[in-house]
Amino acid sequence: MARKDLLDGCIGFDWDEANVDKNWSLHRVAFWEAEELFFNEPLVIRADPAHSGGEDRFVALGRADSGRLLFLSFTVRRTLIRIISARDMTRREANTYEHKKA
């Protein structure tokens, strides 16, 4: 699925409070910092079939407003983006991101 098709029609975010707390306590990523990726270019998105059970899951590589490189796991529920996990990119993911944006 193309990125535009996936995010077309999305109007906001849907957060589970446990995920907000988990992302902060484990990775020091605030919910608002994770959301920033969807407003910054480039944003690299791919399907994550290995983690897609009852719903399609996706991963994203992108940059927060601060310049921090983040990896996200998310799904789209109707018109809302639901971020499941957010953390700093690994070195390999950062290399992939830098290559994709070139």
* Domain, as residue range, for 9: 3-101
- Distance (Å, rounded) from C-alpha 26 to C-alpha 98? 25
DSSP state of 90: P
- CATH code (residue 13): 3.10.450.530
Check residue 52 and give its pLDDT: 84
Nearest 5°: CA angle at 17, between 30 and 45? 55
The model carries a pTM of 0.88
Question: Which residues in the chain show pLDDT less than 50?
Answer: 1
Q: Residue 37: CB partners within 8 Å, gap ≥ 6?
A: 43, 60, 62, 63, 64, 70, 72
Structure token digits, residue 35: 């959301």
Domain count, the chain: 1
